[in-house]
């Protein structure tokens, strides 16, 4: 059974950096590749990880819309999209990755979103661990694209807007039919002088803070220069913070085995 971790929060709080560090530190978990999913149309998880993604679900959608009326009499749209979808699973050292990507053509994402949910459910059973970098904000919750999650990490920075979004996420998941087993607050980019404010952030958001990740000049430098997150040195405060976070997640051990990629 796949153990799933989703990362959510307001845009600009560093959730993709946290997601990339989780994928990097947890790759080859249980001796098997893990699955990283970037469900944000403005995808950049692969860039944060320093890998190229040549195919995306958005591109698969465009190819489906372009060719759906040209399929043979015995080829279903779902089968064709499944082939395209499988082509969008990129394989790397210790992890596979799926990128949502942008769609350029007209039409609604609803059909593809429904297929994506079903196929991710089927595909995720082949992996011991899934890391889901969600779209910024709240819409993915109302669309039910975030569901059946073991742990939801709501990332905020020490700002009123960030913690207000965290509070709204906490309130929203209570009202929707989602199967999120545990939800925690992660305070990111926290300057040392604001450490005593963490309890206030917990109280405002209504979420228990599971980790505090200090402000890290190295992450800012890497972002500025386009360097991948896995190249952060051992001295990185963010790397150390996410390493401590992983220790608190209580991810179950999995037996070693092979995966059919």
- Whether 146 has a pLDDT exceeding 60, the answer reads no
Q: Give the strand order in the sheet containing 129-133.
A: 89-92, 95-99, 34-38, 129-133, 3-9, 149-156, 180-190, 209-214
Q: Regarding predicted confidence, which is higher, 85 or 195?
A: 195
125 band by pLDDT with thresholds 50, 70 and 90:
confident
What does the pLDDT read at residue 251? 93
Indicate the class that CATH gives domain 3-248.
alpha beta
Q: Regarding predicted confidence, which is higher, 99 or 114?
A: 99
CB atoms within 10 A of CB 2: 18
Q: Regarding predicted confidence, which is higher, 67 or 166?
A: 166
- Whether 138 has a pLDDT exceeding 70, the answer reads no
Q: Regarding predicted confidence, which is higher, 177 or 190?
A: 190
**Whole-number average pLDDT of the chain:** 85
What does the pLDDT read at residue 219? 96
Q: How far apart are CA 212 and CA 254, in angstroms?
A: 27
Q: How far apart are CA 113 and CA 50, in angstroms?
A: 27
- Whether 14 has a pLDDT exceeding 70, the answer reads yes
Query: Using one digit for the tens of pLDDT, what is the confidence trace for 206-242?
Result: 999 999 999 999 999 999 999 999 999 999 999 999 9
- Stretch 81-96: mean pLDDT, rounded? 86
What does the pLDDT read at residue 11? 86
Distance from the Cα of residue 248 to its chain's centroid? 18
What does the pLDDT read at residue 123? 75
What does the pLDDT read at residue 102? 66
110 band by pLDDT with thresholds 50, 70 and 90:
low
Q: How far apart are CA 167 and CA 150, in angstroms?
A: 19
Q: Where are the extended beta strands (E) located within the chain?
A: 3-9, 34-38, 89-92, 95-99, 129-133, 149-156, 180-190, 209-214
Query: Using one digit for the tens of pLDDT, what is the confidence trace for 37-84?
Result: 998 777 789 999 999 988 887 787 788 778 877 877 777 877 887 788
**Contacts of 9 by beta carbon, 8 Å cutoff, 6+ apart:** 15, 136, 154, 155, 156, 162, 165, 166, 169, 186
């Amino acid at each position: 059974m796949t153990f799933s971790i989703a990362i959510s929060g307001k845009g600009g709080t560093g959730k993709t950096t946290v997601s990339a560090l989780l994928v990097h530190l947890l790759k080859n978990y249980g001796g098997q590749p893990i699955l990283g999913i970037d469900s944000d149309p403005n995808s950049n998880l692969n860039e944060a990880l320093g890998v190229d993604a040549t195919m995306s679900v958005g591109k698969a959608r465009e190819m489906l819309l372009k060719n759906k009326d040209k399929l043979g009499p015995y080829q279903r749209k779902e089968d064709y999209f499944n082939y395209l979808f499988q082509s969008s699973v990129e394989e790397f050292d210790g992890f596979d990755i799926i990128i949502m990507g942008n769609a350029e053509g007209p039409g609604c994402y609803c059909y593809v979103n429904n297929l994506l949910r079903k196929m991710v459910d089927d595909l995720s059973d082949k992996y011991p661990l899934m890391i889901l970098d969600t779209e910024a904000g709240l819409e993915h919750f109302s669309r039910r694209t975030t569901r059946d999650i073991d742990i939801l990490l709501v990332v905020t920075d020490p700002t009123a807007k960030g913690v207000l979004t965290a509070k709204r996420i906490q309130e929203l998941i209570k009202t929707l039919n989602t199967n999120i087993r545990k939800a925690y607050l992660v305070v990111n980019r926290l300057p040392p002088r604001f450490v005593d404010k963490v309890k206030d952030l917990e109280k405002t958001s209504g979420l228990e803070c599971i980790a505090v990740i200090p402000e890290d000049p190295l992450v800012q430098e890497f972002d500025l220069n386009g360097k991948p997150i896995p190249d952060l040195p051992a001295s990185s405060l963010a790397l150390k913070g996410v390493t401590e976070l992983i220790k608190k997640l209580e991810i179950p051990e999995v037996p070693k085995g092979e995966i059919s990629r």
